Structures are given as C-alpha cells and as structure tokens.
Chain A
C-alpha cells in the first residue's frame, strides 16, 4: 500500500530531528539498528544491496572512530600512547576520543541510511512534483542532479571493470586520479541526455494562455529589494511602519511571482496520491517522534551526552526508546503488494 510522499518526508524529517537533538549513543545505536533492519527488508534495487550498505556503514563507523581517536588529545582515560613528536599522531589515545568518534560515526550512518531508504521508497518524480509550478526549471535541474548520481555510480563500475581489462587494479587513490574527469563527464553526458529527452517530451512547456513573462522576471528581484529595504528600515532606522509596509509589499510580490509563474506551466498528474490510513499513521508517528525529541518535557535529561573529560554511562529513558521504534511502522505496509 503506497504511503504518501509528504508522510515519507515527515518520516525523514523526524529522523533528522532525532539526529540533531541527541548525542546519546544508545539512542543513536538503536536508531541505526532500526534503520538497517528497515533498509534490509526493502526489495533490492540495482547496486543498493543490503550487504554493500552494511559494509559502507561499518567502514564509516570504523574510520570515524579511529580518526577521532588519533587526532583528539582530550579525555582522561588513556588507552595507549603513541611515542615521538609526529604532528597530530603522537600522544595519548583516550577512550573518550574513541567514543566521541564512534558517536559521530553513528550519526553519519543514520543520516546515510535515512536518505538511502527514502531514495528507495520514493520515486524521483514524486519528489520533483512537490516543487512549485513556478519553479519548473528548478524541477528540471533537480531531476538532472538526481539522475547524475546513479549515472555516475554506473559509470564508476564500468570504468573500474574496463581498467581491470587493461591490467589496472585501481587500488590506490592516485590510480583513480586520471579517471576523475571521464567519470564526471560520463555522468554529466547521461544526465544531459535525460534532460534532452525530457525537453523533447514537453517538460517545462509554457501553456498557450500563459501571461506575458517579460515583466514577471522583474517581480522576484523587486520583491527581494522591498523585503531587504523593509527589514533595513525596521531594524536600523526605527521607521517601523514604513518598514513593515515595504516588507509586506515584498512578500506580496513573492506571492504574485508564485501565482503568475505557476500559471505559465500548467501540468496535470496521471497518478493521484491519496492520503491512506498508513499515510496518516506514518505522518502521526513521525510527528510524535519529533515532539518527544524536541520538547524538553519528555526526554530532556537523556538526550545530551558528552564523553569528555571522563567517560560516563549515558542516561536512558523509556519514552525516547519507544518513540524510536515508531520508525519501523511504515515497514508494515511498504512491502505489501496491495
């Protein structure tokens, strides 16, 4: 059963709110586990296999932990000392630095897995159709950018194979340097081909009854000018009323731009997105998670965590733990063929 695009975006936002509001390693670890289970339960798509995602997540975690342990000299629990006077390297390796790096790693894994899941469950066109009609050229650029990433991934594996055929192993970074331009060019070529195909099929076509646009292009800069002028007057000269009038006029011009600009690009949609019960439940669960992690009343004590200067056990509260489990909710419907 399909979940509405806005419900998915609410789910993504709730995840990002959790990542921004807590450094508690238990919460982050639980979230990472939930997201990895979620991602592994989705049908595989091309190169996005669960094994490769797990491998990538593990490498981020290890790299972040070791990197911070080596470069940070804070913390009181010394695990070992690297002798000598090598800049950045020599000195004490502390447990606190190790844990701090691990927490950073968990945040990165969570962020990566969140976006990977959204990328798997939401078609690009669903995201692009959220862009206001007035910004259709922006929608075109967004689609091209979104196409560029998988195209570059495919180009990457094609180049790696092709170079293996020519005896090149591509193990070190410097082996890759000469391939950077062809890699970039190949991805861009593919993205441009898509853009060409979209244009040839009427994408960003202005409707025949659209108003004249010659004056419309001045509306946006004029609105910006009025907003800035209004803000300046209000904040720095004490002329509150003229300031507010200018500011309001600027906002009105913005609104005018959106309405008239949108009229130039008339568009209909073949598939109608419907707010189903699963969509509502996903949205409400995301809202609940966001409230629990944003409002101090619910989980204030356990969200903040700092391993420096001496490591201590993070606090745990039941409500945030239960809230995190809500991230699994959409999985009930996601793999349902009906």
Chain B
C-alpha cells in the first residue's frame, strides 16, 4: 500500500536531512504505529505520504515513494486526498467550517461529488462513526473526543484506502482516547483500511497496532518489523515492556492481556510493597472553598472545596471539558469565580491581580508559545525577574538553565527550539522567581518519553527542595510517577481525592498498565513492582 525506497527529505535552508528511509513497506489493512522521539521526523513522514511535504513546505526530496500506486510528489496533496485521509494532532486546526455536517461535507464538495450522493455518503460515515447525533452541532461545542471523531469522519468521507493520524489522542482523556482507538481498529477490520498513526504514548496504541515503525533520533534511520522486534531494539519502552525486560519475559508483551499470560504461566509470589512514608502535613498553602465558575452557556466548576498542603505533588485528572484548566486559571486569578473563595497562604486572592499572585504561584499554561517572546532563552528568564522587580542573578539563571538542560541553548531564539525545549524554557521563565507553588497545565503534551522523564525528574527535584506541585494531565503514567495525591474532577465536581494507589485503582479509566496487571495491589509504576 505504501512503499518507500532510498528516500531522504531536507527542509529548505537545512544542512541535514530531516528524514532518511532506506526501505519501508506498509501492507494493506495494517495498523501501523509510528514511534520516535520529538524531531525524529514522524510528522514529516506522514506529510510526505499525503504530499503536503514538499508541496506545502518546500525542501528537497530524493528517492522513491509510492502510495497506492501514486507518487505523492507528482500528484500533490489535493489529488492524494482521494487516496489518503489525514487527521492532524489538534482537530481544531483542521476544522474549516462551523457545523459538523458541513465540515464533513467539505472534502466531498472539493471532489465535486453530486449533492444526492454527498447526502448518502455523509449519512453512512455519520452512522459508521456513531456521531449522527452530532450532525447539526457547532464545532466549538464538541468535546475533545467528539471533535476527534468528527475529524476522522471528515478524513474518511472520501473513502480513502489509507488513513494517517498525527498524535490523535494527545489531547484526549484516557477513556476518549481508548474509544477513538477502538473505533479506528473497528474501521480497519471493517473497511480494510490501512492506518498509519504517529504517537508518543506507546502504551495507549500498542495493543491495537499490528506493526511498529520506529524513527531513530533526527530521522537518520528507521527500525521496522513486528511490535516485539522493534520494541526490543528501540529506546522507547512503555511500562509493561520495561517490566518484561526486567523480568526476562519473552516475547515482549504489548498489552496487559499478554503480560497476564506470563504471570499465569509462571506464577510469582507478590510481596507487599513497603508503605510509602506519610507526607508531612503543615498548614495549607492553597485553600479552595465552595468554588463555582460558570461561562455564559454552562457551569464549569460547581461548589468545589479542597486544601493543598505545602510540599504536596497534587495531580488533577478528569475527562476533557470537566473544568481542570479553569480550576488552575482560577487559582492564579485569570478566571473570576461566581461564588467561593481562594486563599493562598491564608490570604484571599479576590482583590489581587494575576501578576501579584504569580509572585508566589507559578503557572505554566498549556501552550508554552504564548509565554515566549524574548530574543534568547536567557532573556526569557531575565524578563520575568525584571517584571517582578527582582534582582538579576546570573549564577541563579545559569543554575536553572543547567537544571532544565538548556545551558547550551541559552542564546538560542526560543521559538526555534523543539517542543520539549520550548516547554522547558517556558517552565524556566515561570520558575526563575522560585515560587512556593508551581501549577502546570498538561505539560507533557507533545513531549516524547525521554523529555517526559526529564520533566518528571526535575519536578521531583524541585519538590524535594520544598516546592509544591499542582499538575493537570491526561497522562496516567506520568501522573502515577509524580503524584503524592490525586483529585479526579468530573462535570465540575470532585469525585475522588486521595492517595494515587487508591484513586487510580478505584477509577478504571485512570489505571496505569501496572495497576491493570496487578489489580490486587496499590502498585502503579514499574518501580513499585516487587515480584
């Protein structure tokens, strides 16, 4: 279905190729997972297959690429749209019109499909993706999972034999992500669809994939083969694979079901894990009392109350659109509550500006780009200190840059950096004032496992130095690695609040792979497992 030989692609003005592939073949009706670190060329490869690269980006391509018999370099992305459906990382960025049925019909209009046939095809795809009830909804009113389904419907309505997806679950909560992946698997088997899906969170997709293509750093080469073969050679290992390697399980399990087989075939005695030391509780650093926030059309947070103790690592989780980001924004005064009070160190923030609050509480929003505007990474950190009227201390800036692994990039233009580096620069710009508390909104979005681990280590280090961490995420494995306490929000209310082991085992959608494998324990990560 897709065949690539001796291909290299170099972006305009770049010295090195962004992607080099000796040979790659993707069979029809396969579910192919594309993995690799940030900057390894996953998005570039997907865009080469549908012709957006080089038609949209420019640059030089050498070698041969065939997609269902066509050469996308010659055909171009418009012509390839009949062969290849494309789902972008953020569905918001691919929606062109404002109503669901018009959005799905957009490709049909461009292909000049007659109106009667258009209606028929639209009906079919709506039923197939179980979104008939969304047909007349405004795009902006859709939840994350609904929006992703509409994006997939829009990509498939031309009935292409190939579907490409660029990190389609990165913004979805665990349940919505699982629903989307189950749907894709169903479409593949029903329609003989060839799926090529790029993803950073391998543990989510591996159980559905039939084949794995791993791009080596900076796109220098690829590993391709069965899931087990490639996992054994690659540097990115989800928790189950880490455990399997540690315990010598062979072949490597890619799903909890496969891993259970090892446990049942060679039963092991499970030892009780030593109890985690009880966190020392002092007076609360943040107090939230009966907080209610509503937007013109809906209530977002409803009468929620909780305390955050100094030194806690609190992780807030919950489905998309449940008010997690609104809660963080309320804590720094960006959203004014309708009811309730927020106290920081015992003082109400009702009369304080966000700038004043942020002297004590640092907040890293979802999109780090909004924070970055200086000419260099170092200047970003200096700018925050100047704004707060604090003295510039070059040694402290150097220390923080070193901690953030940005020392060598200190003079680089922030917007030229990779996703992970930009995230760390924004974190530095917030953390340079040494706030007592750090709030982070989805900091792992778009980060590869290596960058995620480095962020996890950094947050643990700051926490050991006394910083309180409050983090919103959909990434259950990251949450399990960090949290000393977890709150689950649903429909604007707290439905669970407690120790990570208790909460994640009790709430099915938030179970880590290890929690699923050992349901009778309170284990969450590979490090917890004592076999």
Contact = CB atoms under 8 A, between A and B. Distances in A.
Interface string A146-170: 0000000001001101111111110
A13 to B, nearest CB: 24
Tier of interface size on chain B: 35 or more
Contacts of B112: 207, 266-268
B387 A268 contact: no
Given A186-B369, A201-B155, 5 more contacts: A155-B370, A161-B334, A178-B374, A200-B94, A207-B112
Interface of A: 44, 46, 123-125, 143, 155, 158-159, 161-169, 178-179, 181-182, 185-186, 190, 193-207, 266-272
B409 interface: no
B110 A205 contact: yes
Contacts of A271: 102, 105
Interface stretch (B79-87, B192-200, B469-477): B79-87
Given A165-B363, A178-B373, A269-B109, A125 B354 contact: no
A44 B296 contact: yes
B383 interface: yes
Interface string B369-395: 111111000000001100111000000
A167 B115 contact: no
Nearest to B432: A166
Contact of A125 (B77, B94, B97, B358): B97
B405 to A, nearest CB: 21
B387 A267 contact: no
A167 to B, nearest CB: 3
A165 to B, nearest CB: 5
A100 B114 CA distance: 56
Q: A-side binding surface: helix, strand, loop or mixed?
A: helix
Contacts of B332: 165
Contact of B371 (A46, A125, A165, A178): A165
Given A190-B93, A202-B78, A205-B110, A168 B88 contact: no
B52 A196 contact: yes
B173 interface: no
Contacts of B415: 182, 185
A194 B96 contact: yes
Nearest to B353: A164
B355 A267 contact: no
| Residue picked from A46, A186, A196, A272, most chain B C-beta under 10 Å | A196
A205 B93 contact: no
A166 B385 CA distance: 8
Contact of A270 (B78, B101, B155): B101
Contact of A169 (B114, B355, B369): B355
A158 B158 CA distance: 36
Contacts of A125: 96-97, 102
A7 B93 CA distance: 31
B176 to A, nearest CB: 21
B102 A203 contact: no
Interface string B354-370: 11001100110101011
Given A143-B96, A167-B387, A162 B158 contact: no
A118 B57 CA distance: 34
| Residue picked from A162, A169, A196, most chain B C-beta under 10 Å | A162
Nearest to B94: A197
B56 A196 contact: yes
A269 B114 CA distance: 8
B82 A202 contact: yes
B308 interface: no
B435 to A, nearest CB: 10
A130 to B, nearest CB: 14
Contacts of B369: 182, 186
Contact of B365 (A123, A124, A165, A207): A165
Of all A-B residue pairs in the complex, the 7 with the closest CB atoms, nearest first, are: A167-B387, A197-B94, A270-B105, A202-B81, A205-B78, A202-B110, A162-B370
A202 B108 CA distance: 9
B417 to A, nearest CB: 14
Contacts of B94: 193-194, 197, 200-201
Contacts of B78: 199, 202-206
| Residue picked from A158, A161, A199, most chain B C-beta under 10 Å | A199
Contact of A167 (B118, B355, B372): B355
Contacts of A44: 296
